[in-house]
Chains A and B, each alone.
Chain A
Amino acid sequence: MASLNEFLFVSGLLFAIGLAGVIIRRNIIVIFMSLELMLAAASLTLVAFSRYHVTDNGLPDYNGQVFVFFIITVAAAEVAVGLAIIVALYRARQTINVEDLNSMRG
């Protein structure tokens, strides 16, 4: 049987992989996907805490799962807006490589 700590470690590992993707990759769409992976890793933490924190009536604590429900909704809205911004950016600059997008550099 897997303990809470193993779930937390898998979640931390996924978050670290997402962070590595954000740092290493230069393609803005892949960076965006890595951000989604980090969000999903955080929701794994919430679901694990929800399951392992048993409330008075013996059932899991559903507050965590409600939180995950809200996170998924916000992530869906975020992806829609983010991809629209990427399309607008591509139409303006013909590139999605973050190293070419340096006009705000001081």
Chain B
Amino acid sequence: MHSLLFYLFSFLAVAGGILLVAFRNPVSSALSMVLSFVGLAGLFIGLNAYFVGIVQILVYAGAIMVLFVFIIMLLDLNNEEKVRFRSSTVVLGIIIPLCLALQILGVIQSQDTKEFQPITEETLATAAESFPEDGAIHKSLAHEKTPKLPDTNLIGQQIFTHYNFPLQVIGALLLVATIGVVVLSKRTAKTRPTDS
């Protein structure tokens, strides 16, 4: 990954995160969350994880952000949060994450750096030998004119061979979440306990 793009996208991600925390208006926070996730997706694509980058944009910047904005609009919270932050929580909220970041920096400093090895046509050609000749992965890796990394196929192969059971568990989880959301939002005013 080119250094300039790395710094650009990591700046986008970090700036989006800081704006997410700093904005008073929840809608602005949601939009800066999207900025942060677009930066992250750029980093993923720079790491040759094209599928994960696209899924990050589709799911986070598409579905999840729309859900957040929809709920903010539904509850009409646009002019919420006139209250000042307590100075004690602000100080704590800066000191604790700063300690965490410094600790992470300390651990990283003590490790030896691992340099980026770009994926060249030779690595693709040698990698093609470990896959069956008639498969789509081999065809894409050992293409005569434009060999490229078929990372969607490789992730799919990994999921459906080694992670078959987790995949089905995740399907059940999605079903349970859908049912749970319907149950939570169908509850009427009568069944709710009245509180002060």
A92 within 8 A of B: yes
A104 within 8 A of B: no
Per the bound structure, the CA–CA distance linking A13 and B11 in Å amounts to 11
Partner of B184 from A13, A63, A84, A97 at Cβ < 8 Å: A84
B20 with A21: CB separation less than 8 A: yes
Per the bound structure, the CA–CA distance linking A21 and B163 in Å amounts to 34
Per the bound structure, the CA–CA distance linking A62 and B83 in Å amounts to 47
Interface size on A, residues (CB 8 A): 76
Q: B88 to chain A: closest CB distance in Å?
A: 11
B20 with A84: CB separation less than 8 A: no
Interface residues of B in 47-87 (CB under 8 A from A): 47-49, 51-52, 55-56, 59-60, 63-64, 67-68, 71-72, 74-75, 77, 80-81, 83, 85
A14 with B36: CB separation less than 8 A: yes
Inter-chain residue pair count (beta carbon < 8 A): 252
B83 with A14: CB separation less than 8 A: no
CB within 8 Å for A60 and B108 given contacts A23-B92, A36-B33, A72-B60: no
Partner of B170 from A20, A33, A74 at Cβ < 8 Å: A74
Per the bound structure, the CA–CA distance linking A58 and B118 in Å amounts to 11
Partner of B117 from A29, A54, A65, A77 at Cβ < 8 Å: A54
List residues of chain A with CB within 8 A of the CB of B92. Answer: 23
Interface bin, chain B:
35 or more
Task: Tell me if B's interface is mostly helix, strand, loop or mixed.
Answer: helix
List residues of chain B with CB within 8 A of the CB of A14. Answer: 13-14, 17, 36, 40
Using A9-B108, A29-B68, A69-B155 as known contacts, list a sample of 13 further A-B pairs with CB atoms less than 8 Å apart, ordered by residue number in A.
Answer: A9-B104, A15-B100, A15-B104, A16-B98, A17-B17, A23-B96, A37-B33, A44-B44, A59-B154, A66-B159, A84-B184, A88-B185, A103-B195
Taking Cβ atoms with an 8 Å cutoff, the residues of A that contact B are 1-10, 12-21, 23-27, 29-30, 32-34, 36-37, 40, 43-44, 47-48, 50-52, 54, 56-60, 62-63, 65-66, 68-70, 72-81, 83-88, 90-93, 96-97, 103
Taking Cβ atoms with an 8 Å cutoff, the residues of B that contact A are 1-3, 6, 10, 13-14, 17-18, 20-21, 26, 29-30, 33, 36-37, 40, 43-44, 46-49, 51-52, 55-56, 59-60, 63-64, 67-68, 71-72, 74-75, 77, 80-81, 83, 85, 89-90, 92-94, 96-98, 100-101, 104-105, 108-109, 111, 113-119, 123-124, 126-127, 129-130, 149, 151, 154-155, 158-159, 162-163, 166, 170, 173-174, 177-178, 180-181, 184-185, 187, 189, 192, 195
